[in-house]
Amino acid sequence: MIPRLEGMNMQKLKQVGVTSIGILLMFTPLQVLADDHSEQKPTAVGDGGAVATEHPKASKAATTILENDGNAVDSAVAAAATQGVTRPFSGGIGGGGFMQVYLEEEDEFVVIDHVIETSENFGPTSFINPETSDYYPAEVRQTSGMATGIPGVIKGWEEALEEYGTMSFSEVLEPAIQVAEEGFAANENFIREIEDNLEKFGLFESTKEVYLDEDGNVPEPGTIMENPDLADTYRLIGEHGSDAFYEGEIAEAIIDTIHNPPVVDDPEHEILAGNMSMDDLSNYEVLPRDPVHVNYRGYDVYSSAPSSSGVTIGQTLNILEGFDLDNSDRTEGMHYFIEASRYAFADRDEYLGDSRHTEIPVNGMLSKEYAEERQQNISDDSATLGQVEPGDPWAYNDLQTFAEEDEDLVEADPSSETIHLSVSDRDGNVVSYTSTINLMGGNGMVVPGYGFLLNNGFNSRTATDSPDHPNYPRPGLRMITTMSPTIIMDDNDPVLAVGSPGGGRIITTNLQVIVNHLDFDMSLPEAIEDQRLSQRNLSHGETQYEGIYEEEYGTLFDELEEMGHGFYPDDAVQGISAVAGLEFMSDGEVRAAAEPERRGGGSAMALDVEDIEDPDPTTVSSIIALVEHFEKEGAFANEEASHSLITHLNAVSHYENQEDAEKVVEHMEGGCKDLLNHQHDNDLISDEAYETLIDLTDDLIEKWQ
């Protein structure tokens, strides 16, 4: 049955998934291009929704959706799409991710797994040079089409919106489209990332056109960066959904780029093509999953399921729970934190991977009994030396089928760059979302004419001696990833939402923020600003610290070194990771918090309930969304009928954006109504859909008259 929208009732509109962001669609250039730095604040507090991202344009996109009655899922997709414009070297539609959603009304958690996946032709010999029988060098693998996994972002966003959102794809993509078209001022961090990738970006003509100047050099800070190709790509996706990306012209362009990389003349090294097919793209599926869960000192901690590293978040906390951090000083607390991380990482690298291909002892790894066994290895006053061996969680699991492996079979830290955002809405829904194109800048290839970078997620997937290993190269693999978006609850109330980028340091960063907040009573901004330590059980056994902040660690190193701990610096100017999180306070307000400095600083914005407007249903976008709904319900005789209406309405929306009342009325009266009448007279539209759309059209005409 097709619902009637009698009397322009907004609740009816929302029941069929139709909302309007008319205010959003009528941004002026001044509003879109407001100075980024004046908007960039690392903390914000409100009771009507809160957002933490890595860029103020992304935060503004998210809050605009919330202001116009979108929910946290709508807002998160809008922010992610905008980060794909302003932070394209860490994430975008050429990659994948994990989105965790808390639905307040249902009191339910869901994880939307849309990470990249290997093609049907990928395997253990994919990176072996047939002429030498040796592996291609790292620079060849990292800039290759072969390293590109099937992107999952667009299907992930679509799944999130269709199942849990309230707005259409076209509506939530509109802010990103505007930023891509109008441009944004490149900050020093954006320019630094281009400099760091100059050699890679200089290999591909399409990438040079988007991110380098006319002479092939790095642009200056403050340069207005525009990406009209990406704006057009978002429009195609908004109009046609994921089919445009996985089966249509965008899919064809992706495959052509992978098979025929847009290489410059005389590249510095060989560029290896890939063998992904159109079938690989069209067969990609989103995997809705339950989160993993542990209880830590009375708090319920929910994180993403394998192949992510949410299990490692839970296991580390279980181990830490055996130690009294309340009565520990800072040095003792960090000693236990380092040691718990060390043992949890040993198990992570041994057991975690794609659960569709390998049995994973999740229950055992997350059991309190197994945590107690691992705690026995940790001394109160001395560090564990060197790399530790994995334990045996199978003894605490219902099923034991896994074969033991050599600890060095698979690289422990396969990816180094991601991006994260956190969003809540006034109704209590929460999203914690991490996505990636793997290494900074992905494989360096912008899809020509479409404006987005492709991932290089499988550049490190080389064969090992054991095909039983959970991350052995094979077709259809979603390999282990460090992403671990996390939401923490106290009874039925959210306490914290947190996530970050940074390869293996994602896990330790998320954990340190959680421990700082729950155990050391830091506010979320304090927990984020604190100096970081990252122990990942690497072969040398040492713990990484932030070299740029070395003086701020004070005497901590000396005291921990006396216990036997060793340290080595991360010398990156941007520090370790970049947290974007939410702190839910006892008075009902939510504090959004992002980095004050790392990776150029993040952006936090929040709303008060009175800032949120009831959306105006009489806009062109609301009519388009309703046509899309009726199309799905089978109210049109064929696609041509619905698409002709949408095409006409998209043209009218231009005049609506310009506030040209005369043109809106002229085209709605002389175009839209005539087209609807023609379709009704020729039985191309159902009576109910026709009457509803005619009513909306008349209301819109009356409004503009």
Backbone angles phi, psi at 359, to 5 degrees: -70, 130
Answer yes or no: are the C-beta atoms of 116 and 149 closer than 8 Å. Answer: yes
Backbone angles phi, psi at 685, to 5 degrees: -145, 145
Query: pLDDT tens for residues 106-131?
Result: 999 999 999 999 999 999 999 999 99
The secondary structure of 348-360, three-state, reads HHHHCCCCCCCCC
**pLDDT at residue 402, as a whole number:** 29
Q: Is 438 annotated as a binding residue?
A: yes
**Which residue has tokens 């195609």?**
236
Would the pLDDT of 190 be above 50? Answer: yes
Instruction: Determine the residue type at 458.
Output: F
Whether 418 is catalytic = yes
* 482 known member of a binding site: yes
Tell me if 578 sits within 8 A of 35, measured CB to CB: no
Domains and CATH numbers, the chain: 43-288+411-609 (3.60.20.40), 615-704 (1.20.1440)
Confidence of residue 542 (pLDDT cuts 50, 70, 90): very high
Tens-place pLDDT, residues 52-63: 999 999 999 999
Residue 139, helix vs strand vs coil: helix
Region 354-376 average pLDDT: 93
Burial class for 401, CB neighbours closer than 10 Å (0-12, 13-18, 19+)? exposed
Burial category of 261 from C-beta neighbours within 10 Å (exposed 0-12, middle 13-18, buried 19 and up): buried
Give, rounded to a whole angstrom, the gap between the first and last alpha carbons of the chain.
Answer: 33
Question: 3-class DSSP state for residue 146?
Answer: coil
Is 481 annotated as ligand-binding?
yes
- Give the Cα separation of 500 and 496 in Å (integer): 13
Both structure tokens of 328: 């520990």
User: How far is residue 513 from each of residues 340, 371, 549, measured CA to CA in Å?
Assistant: 15, 21, 17
| Mean pLDDT within 628-653 | 87
Residue 193 three-state SS = helix
> Rounded to the nearest 5 degrees, what angle is found at the Cα of 70, between the Cα atoms of 162 and 97?
55
Q: Is the pLDDT of residue 618 over 60?
A: yes
Asked if residues 607 and 67 have their Cβ atoms less than 8 Å apart, the reply is yes
Q: What residue type is assigned to position 248 of the chain?
A: G
Query: Residues 538, 601, 423, 321: is their CA dihedral positive or negative?
Result: positive
What does residue 101 show for φ and ψ, rounded to 5 degrees?
-125, 130
- SS3 call for 491: coil
Dmax over Cα atoms in the chain, in whole Å?
87
Average pLDDT over residues 183-194: 95
Cα 202 from Cα 35, distance rounded (Å): 30
AA letter at 345: F
Q: Does residue 256 surpass a pLDDT of 80?
A: yes
- In tens, the pLDDT along 452-500 reads 999 999 988 777 657 878 888 999 999 889 999 999 999 999 999 999 9
pLDDT score, position 405: 33
DSSP label at 48?
Answer: S
Cα separation, 304 vs 483, in Å, equals 8
| Confidence at 615, pLDDT banded by 50, 70, 90 | low
Q: Is the pLDDT of residue 450 over 60?
A: yes
Which pLDDT value is given to residue 248? 92
More confident residue, 228 or 648: 228
Asked if residue 436 belongs to a known ligand binding site, the reply is: yes
Q: pTM for the whole thing?
A: 0.83
Mean pLDDT of 397-405: 40
What is d(CA 481, CA 305) in angstroms, rounded to the nearest whole number? Answer: 10
- Name residues whose C-beta falls within 8 Å of residue 595's C-beta, 6 or more positions apart in sequence: 42, 54, 528, 578, 579, 580, 601, 602
Residue written as tokens 């320019």?
191
Q: What are the structure tokens assigned to 286, written together?
A: 């989103």
State the Cα–Cα distance between residues 85 and 97, nearest whole angstrom. Answer: 17
| Angle, CA 501 vertex, CA 348 and CA 546 arms, to 5° | 90
State residue 153's pLDDT score.
98
Beta-carbon-side half-sphere exposure of residue 701 (alpha carbons within 13 Å): 15
Quick check: 573 pLDDT over 90? no
Q: Residues 511, 315: contact at Cβ < 8 Å?
A: no
- Residue 657's pLDDT band, with cuts at 50, 70 and 90, is confident
| 437 assigned binding-site residue | yes
Which of 552, 542, 603 lies closest to 575, judged by CA?
552
- Nearest residue to 104 via CA among 492, 429, 497: 429
Secondary structure of residue 427 in the 3-state scheme:
coil
Mean pLDDT score of the chain, rounded to an integer?
89
Q: How far apart are CA 664 and CA 468, in angstroms?
A: 63
Q: Which of 99, 66, 23, 57 is nearest to 166 (CA)?
A: 66
| pLDDT at residue 594 in the model | 97
Q: Amino acid letter at 22?
A: G
The residue-averaged pLDDT of 311-316 equals: 97
Query: What is the per-residue pLDDT across 331-340, written as a single tens digit (0 to 9) for each?
Result: 999 999 999 9
pLDDT reported for residue 399: 34
Asked whether residue 33 carries a pLDDT value surpassing 90, the answer given is no
The helix/strand/coil state of 556 is helix
Q: Which of 43, 148, 312, 418 is catalytic?
A: 418
